[in-house]
Amino acid sequence: MLRIEFEDAKNWLDLLDAIRDIVEEAVFTATQEGLSLRAMDSARVAMIDLKLPVVYFPDFKIEEEKVSFAISVADMVKSLKGIKKGYRLVLELKENILRLEFIGKGRHAFEFPLLDISPESIPSLKLNFEAHVKIETDIIGNAIKNIEKFSDYIRFKATSDRLVLHGKSEKGRASSEFLRDELISLDVIKECEASYSTEYLMNILGRSELSEVTSIEFGNRMPLKATYTLAGEGEVSYYLAPRTETELE
């Protein structure tokens, strides 16, 4: 038996959206600790790591020690895109069905078939990042969107006093530079730079519906990690593999 309550149904919809940009189908795991999900995209370039501890939820009931359930996130996003603001949400697992009930003016229930997918075991990453940046989510999101018009890859470079993003192609060059005092924080253990796929960055950065602040960590030849801290100790992290030299034409 699993029954989870979200204070604001909008949060669940935003999380689905954040997951859907990485995977179409996903396996959630509920334990006495809370609800979590870890999934890699089909190209194995990006990973999403979602953690919603019990305190995140107004109500969290689980009888088993551990329950996993798989759903088509893409279908669910499509089916629920008309939901307006102002609803609580109760999510309930029933045999081969996930039932969502939106409670506000009226009770609006939706039942989705569970998928027959086993949870993939993805080891957690322990990385000693060389650069730690906190920046307003909108600001970094816009910078990515601007450079996107110029380049398929964006080079991130951190020095002791600034973060620089850079892209180029035959269309021209684009760059965005942020000095320390234009960032919320900048902590550079070692000057570093690495390139990441613009297409993935577009999905990962700029998600201001999750949090107004984004923590970005990266390093030489290391993945980029973007973390959104949610209310109630929840957290969404993305990992994005760096572009390797062999990919260069």
Q: Out of 31, 68, 176, 229, which residue is the one contacting a second copy (CB under 8 A)?
A: 176
* Contact call for residues 110 and 79 (beta carbons, < 8 A): yes
Decide if residue 78 touches a second copy (CB under 8 A). Answer: yes
What is the residue-wise DSSP string for 30-56? EETTEEEEEEE-TTSSEEEEEEEEGGG
β partners of residue 169? 172
Strand locations in 105-219 (E): 106-113, 131-136, 153-159, 162-169, 172-179, 185-188, 192-197, 213-218
CB 112 within 8 A of CB 100: yes
Nearer to a second copy, 64 or 177 (CB): 177
Binding of residue 159 to a second copy (CB under 8 A)? no
- Residue 88, helix vs strand vs coil: strand
Are residues 224 and 196 in contact, defined by beta-carbon separation less than 8 angstroms? yes
Given 9, 48, 174, 236, the residue binding a second copy (CB under 8 A):
174
Per CB under 8 A, does 8 bind a second copy? Answer: no
C-alpha 128: how far from chain center? 20
Region from 1-9, 19-27, 60-68, 146-154 binding a second copy, contact rule CB under 8 A: 146-154
Regarding 75 and contact with a second copy (CB under 8 A), the answer is yes
Name which position in 1, 64, 66, 84 contacts a second copy (CB under 8 A).
84
**Binds a second copy (CB under 8 A): choice among 7, 25, 41, 136:** 136
* Residue 107 lies near a second copy (rule: CB under 8 A): yes
Quick check: 142 binds a second copy (CB under 8 A)? Answer: yes
Q: Give exposure, 119-128, as e/b (b: 16+ Cβ within 10 Å).
A: beeeeeeeee
Residue 82 engages a second copy in binding (rule: CB under 8 A): yes
Q: Cβ 158 to a second copy, closest distance in Å?
A: 14
Residues at the contact surface with a second copy, assessed by CB under 8 A: 75, 78-84, 97, 105-113, 136, 139, 142-143, 145-146, 148-150, 171-179, 182
